[in-house]
A and B are shown apart, each in its own frame.
Chain A
Amino acid sequence: MKAEYSYVETEPSDLSAALRGALSLEGLSSLYTDAVSSNVLIPVCSKESLESSQRLLDALTSVSPSRYFLVLIDNDEKEVRTEIAAHCRFDSDSESGCAALIRITCPESKFSAVPSILRANFFTGVEQQLFLLDNKVPANIVRELFSLSESVVVDSSQFEVNKELLGEIVVRFNQVVDLQWVALSSWRDAIRNMFAMPQVGDLLRGLESVTVVAGSSHSFASRLIAGWVVSKLSVELPKNCIFINSSTGKPVEVVFKADSKSANMSIVEITFDFGGNKKAKIGLKGQSMLETQIELEEVTRTCAPYRDSTQSEALRRYFTIGDSNANYAAALKVALELQQNS
């Protein structure tokens, strides 16, 4: 459901009071104060990102009642400008939620005034989450926002040109949610399920190569899924896309291919080659199914539903279902290494 937001320009010193007033108009101020679970910071720097961040807000406000701070860096502005909006929804008699939005627009030269506005208006006692989804936000501003945040939601595919910042995020924050990682959960599930079959799991000893085919605009997704695979099979970082299988000591090659016909799709296919014509492959079938194909003496196929996730969908999935983050840091470390050498 698309939410409607009517932003009202408000003085920075009046933001919290104005929000309470706006929510009172909606008749739900106590519901809001009972339910706020976090302060969410969303910095954006480009018009495209502003539009996608609005879609993001539509998704977020329906699953996470929070106070949202949209920080828009716009060098056409001369001064810092602040606006508020409130949005409440009623899903049923017993389920409803409110979100408060504060939009801060400023030129990059005036950003130093923004942290004071943020700190003054953070909802007390709940955590600050930084949503880092626009790679055009200047790094110095990102780092300033790091100091205000306790956890980060990032789309690593946006930051493949700024690996240093990605690496910094993982070191600095205990809680990192990478939407790219969330979007790969179906692939991870499929790989896990495939190797759960004893006859396939036994084949890992003979693994010779892993080939990942991705849409041509999604190269980092392929590095990340490969990074996860490698981190599960090897204790060392790969060198020149070759890693040592810890259980056998044998080298395994990681190959990356781009599928220009599937430019907008993320991962298209992952193939595990065990040598001697034995392979296991997971690939897209159409656009809504993942097919697992195991080629031994016979060919065995299974299918599972699949949906390629946009940022908003990945976020919605994260908030409603959640995901396992335990292996993310190790996977990212390997992914960054593979990115550098491939």
Chain B
Amino acid sequence: MENPFAEGENRVLRPPSTVLVIFGASGDLTKRKLVPSLYSLAKDDFLPSNFVVLGASRSEFSDQSFREAMLESCKAHSRSKVTEEQWKSFSENIFYQVLDGTKEEDFAKLHERLEQLDREREENFNYVFYFATAPRYFAKIAKNLRKQGLIQPYGTGTRRASVVVEKPFGQDLASARELNADLRAELAEEQIYRIDHFLGKETVQNILAFRFANGIFEPLWNSKFIDNIQISFSEDIGVEQRASYFDQNGILRDVVQNHLLQMLSLICIEPPLSLSNADSIRDEKVKVLKSIRRVGIEDAPSMSVRAQYSDGYINGKPVQGYLKEDGIPKKSSTETYVALRLAIDNWRWEGVPIYLRAGKRLPKRITEISIYFKRPPDMLFQGRQVGQLHRNVLAIQVQPNEGISLRINSKPPGPRMRARPVVMDFSYGESFGIPSPGAYERLLLDAMKGDATLFTRDDEIEEAWGVLAPIFNAWDSEKSPPVFSYESGSWGPKESSMLLASEGKFWREL
């Protein structure tokens, strides 16, 4: 039976009492993102009134030593300043359990611990199980949880239990399907929350508000007025500590399959039936992904460019090329840069090229969605000296400085009819007077509330893999296209510019 008290209550601020169990709690994600985010939520008073974090991993920690480690993490990584008083009340809810995710008997101990917490706190906690581990452990951990009765079949029992999993969701379409099937063998889809942290960013969420809360943009949001869409993900860092993981995956798997295709689907979706129903939005996103043209393996090389960074400079400092990095095989062909040209075959987007690019060791860290509008008819300006009429560009900057800008042409003061580009902009940092929460803060809160809107569904994952499958197949084939080279600190290989130049377009200068 649907909860009659949930109707219309779409602005629940505080989730019900929850225990967040983090598997793999000794890892980097917990230290850098999860616990610091929880601390900020606690400081802003968004956490449930009764809330517990239970870290679990094979590493030997006590409750106290784990709390001390998390204190250092929060000091280093939380956006909120750590105060003694706040930390004291927050840390009283942090516990630790030594646990091997592959050992069934360890889950019995986990079960006892959770029951003990129920008794001590006089609560009937909901559970959120966060799998901050390698994907190969997901199915085993889920199975062990179910066997212990810590996860009940969806819609039954007296408490809600859900599982949060991190990317990568498989290596390709086949492995993604397998992973989904393994999880679905133990859990209902409604109990699985797949995180893509980009969906937790304010600017990404703002795409829907921007499109559908303003009457002026949606009528232009189609192939009649839009010339091309570009999504750029640029990092100035190299592989850092992730050499082994990165070399096995490459940037196409690491960020394009998830972050970029998620942003693309939000930019291109039809208006959903509801903004407060998770499946309404996810249904529309899946439609976009299904509409992206699937190309044959023989066409993939002409719509994609891959490259590796070579020696160069980042902000004036010399850096070495990818093949010289520690932990990278000398003959690796893993791409650190990729550019794609996609097409969406539907009424709204027919004929509008979509360009995606992602790369490491590019000049700066920036992620931006750039929407280029078509040039207006210029007959009014023919014969006049107006300078070069620039296309209007709507730019949604996702990081580092979240905000939206619109480039228009305007006449500068003076006696001549001239047009120069100017930028109208809105910045999150300056417009609202309150700091933006971190992406993980929003996502953790939603997981505790049971709101799956900002999490990806199984069919989204599989459709995204399906879009990229021909490219992976082409790259793995006997006639695989070359891996080009680009100097660190440049904007990528010249072949990437040629991908757009062949259609009279060019990458936006970031």
Contact = CB atoms under 8 A, between A and B. Distances in A.
A325 interface: yes
Interface string A16-46: 0000000000000010011111000000000
A121 to B, nearest CB: 8
Contacts of B407: 125
B59 interface: no
B422 A37 contact: yes
A116 B313 CA distance: 6
Interface residues of B, number: 42
Interface in B470-510: 488-491, 508-510
B423 A325 contact: no
A326 interface: yes
B378 interface: no
Contacts of A322: 385, 387, 412, 414, 416, 418
B397 interface: yes
Contact of B364 (A112, A120, A126): A120
A82 B316 contact: yes
A326 B313 contact: no
Given A125-B405, A174-B388, A116 B420 contact: no
Contacts of B385: 322-326
B416 A113 contact: no
Contacts of A319: 412
B366 interface: yes
B446 interface: no
Contact of A124 (B316, B368, B414, B416): B368
Contacts of A120: 236, 314-315, 363-364, 489
A317 to B, nearest CB: 10
B418 A125 contact: no
Nearest to B361: A116
Give the most central of B316, B368, B427: most A CB within 10 Å: B316
B8 interface: no
Contacts of A321: 414-416
A113 B313 contact: yes
A36 B312 CA distance: 29
Nearest to A321: B414
Contacts of B366: 124
A114 B316 contact: yes
A201 to B, nearest CB: 20
Interface in A300-342: 319-326
A169 to B, nearest CB: 16
Interface in B398-419: 405, 407, 412-416, 418
Given A124-B510, A125-B509, A175-B388, A12 B315 contact: yes
B421 interface: yes
Interface in A148-195: 150, 174-175
B7 interface: no
Given A122-B509, A175-B387, A115 B489 contact: yes
Contact of A33 (B317, B421, B427): B427
Contacts of B427: 30, 33
A119 B421 CA distance: 20
Contact of A119 (B414, B418, B489): B489
A119 B423 contact: no
Nearest to A177: B387
Interface in B303-317: 312-317
A267 interface: no
B425 interface: yes
A214 interface: no
A295 B151 CA distance: 104
A126 B414 contact: no
A46 B490 CA distance: 28
B388 A117 contact: no
A92 B313 CA distance: 43
Contact of A116 (B315, B390, B509): B315
A12 B418 contact: no
B21 interface: no
A131 B79 CA distance: 41
A119 B364 contact: yes
Contacts of B508: 125
Nearest to A65: B422
Contacts of B415: 321
Contacts of A119: 363-364, 489-491
Nearest to A116: B489
B395 A124 contact: yes
A5 B317 CA distance: 27
Interface in A89-143: 112-117, 119-122, 124-128
Contacts of A126: 421, 423
B498 to A, nearest CB: 15
A37 B420 contact: yes
Contacts of B236: 120
Contact of B316 (A35, A117, A127, A175): A117
Contacts of B368: 124
A117 B364 CA distance: 9
A251 B423 CA distance: 52
Contacts of B313: 112-113, 115-117
Given A115-B490, A119-B489, A319-B412, 4 more contacts: A37-B422, A114-B316, A119-B491, A125-B405
20 contacts: A12-B315, A37-B420, A37-B422, A82-B316, A113-B317, A113-B318, A116-B313, A116-B315, A117-B313, A117-B315, A122-B509, A122-B510, A125-B393, A125-B509, A125-B510, A127-B390, A150-B509, A319-B412, A321-B414, A326-B385
Interface of A: 12-13, 30, 33-37, 80, 82, 112-117, 119-122, 124-128, 150, 174-175, 319-326
> Which 3 A-B residue pairs are closest in the complex by CB-CB distance?
A116-B489, A119-B363, A116-B313
